[in-house]
């Protein structure tokens, strides 16, 4: 059965983002922000404890060093810089995991660097090289440079499907600058189709093949808790 994962722990300082406590019971895997696009040490510690208390798998959610842009602005780091930035962030989360007596489950890149690495092999290789020493799978888009780089470096790979986002005719994710409420019926139907047929409809109606072992949702839409609950039902019903 495909797992349900969510990008979480994205509050920092006095700013609160996402309904982590409401969403966590419905997901299988929590991708916890590591401080470069969001989060801070206390938020990381609290989100790890929340996930551990509910028995959830925990992955690192590293990004470009872009807090002001929430990790959604292109930055062209050298491959060695990107590997070091990801290693730093993953290692930071592993410290909090060790304090709670649990292990890292996976790594899921955040934001614009996820899209950049899908189409640019040097970026994808830089990410995979950072993941390799931790011995965990990389979550990414099947059939893109994510998967090819993971195979080249020898990193386990798990394909993702995005139930709360739309896909362009070229298969790229369309990420809004600001999340509005998700249409629950449409998201549920999109996921049901993907689970049954391995297809998703692009914005122009083109059917796209999707291969995945995990389904991603986001914590920032205003009805994120309802999205998590509804898609959990779809997954459980599909078996």
Please state, in angstroms and rounded to a whole number, the distance separating the CA atoms of residues 225 and 75.
32
pLDDT of residue 176: 76
Minimal CA–CA distance to 60: which of 118, 139, 1? 139
pLDDT of residue 74: 92
| Residues 122-149: tens digit of each pLDDT | 999 999 999 999 999 999 999 999 999 9
Q: Are 221 and 184 in contact (CB under 8 A)?
A: no
| Residues 39-98: tens digit of each pLDDT | 999 999 999 999 999 999 999 999 999 988 887 899 999 999 999 999 999 999 999 999
pLDDT of residue 144: 97
| Residues 158-209: tens digit of each pLDDT | 999 999 999 999 998 887 777 789 999 999 999 999 999 999 999 999 999 9
pLDDT of residue 9: 96
As for how many domains the chain has, the answer is 1
pLDDT of residue 143: 95
Please state, in angstroms and rounded to a whole number, the distance separating the CA atoms of residues 153 and 39.
29
pLDDT of residue 236: 96
Main-chain phi, psi angles of 231, to 5 degrees: -75, -30
pLDDT of residue 59: 98
Task: Render 64-132 in DSSP notation, one character per residue.
Answer: -S-TTTTT-S-----HHHHHHHHHHHHHHHHHHHHHHT----EE---HHHHHHHHH-HHHHHHHHHHHG
pLDDT of residue 70: 86
- 54 contacts: CB under 8 Å, gap ≥ 6: 24, 25
pLDDT of residue 40: 96
| Residues 3-41: tens digit of each pLDDT | 999 999 999 888 888 899 999 999 999 999 999 999 999
Q: What is the pTM of this model?
A: 0.95
Q: What is the CATH number of the domain that holds 29?
A: 3.20.20.370
Please state, in angstroms and rounded to a whole number, the distance separating the CA atoms of residues 10 and 8.
5
pLDDT of residue 3: 97
Minimal CA–CA distance to 92: which of 140, 43, 138, 127? 43
- 15 contacts: CB under 8 Å, gap ≥ 6: none
Domain extent at residue 25: 3-238
């Amino acid at each position: 059965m495909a797992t349900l994962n969510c990008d979480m722990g994205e509050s920092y300082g006095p700013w609160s983002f996402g309904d982590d406590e409401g969403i966590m019971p419905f997901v299988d895997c929590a991708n916890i922000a590591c401080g470069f696009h969001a989060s801070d040490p206390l938020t990381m510690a609290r989100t790890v404890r929340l996930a551990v208390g509910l028995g959830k798998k925990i992955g690192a959610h590293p990004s470009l060093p872009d807090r002001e842009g929430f990790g959604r602005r292109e930055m062209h780091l050298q491959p060695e810089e990107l590997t070091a930035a990801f290693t730093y962030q993953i290692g930071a989360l592993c410290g909090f995991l060790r304090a709670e007596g649990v292990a890292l489950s996976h790594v899921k890149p955040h934001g614009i660097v996820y899209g950049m690495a899908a189409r640019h092999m040097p970026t994808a290789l830089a990410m995979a090289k950072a993941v390799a020493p931790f011995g965990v799978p990389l979550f990414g888009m099947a059939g893109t440079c994510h998967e090819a780089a993971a195979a080249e470096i020898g990193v386990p790979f798990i394909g993702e499907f995005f139930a709360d986002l739309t896909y362009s005719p070229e298969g790229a994710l369309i990420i809004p600058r600001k999340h509005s409420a998700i249409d629950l019926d449409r998201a549920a139907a999109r996921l049901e189709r993907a689970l049954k047929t391995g297809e998703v409809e692009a914005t122009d109606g083109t059917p796209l093949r999707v291969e995945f072992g995990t389904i991603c949702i986001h914590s920032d839409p205003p009805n994120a808790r309802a999205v998590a609950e509804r898609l959990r039902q779809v997954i459980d019903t599909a078996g």
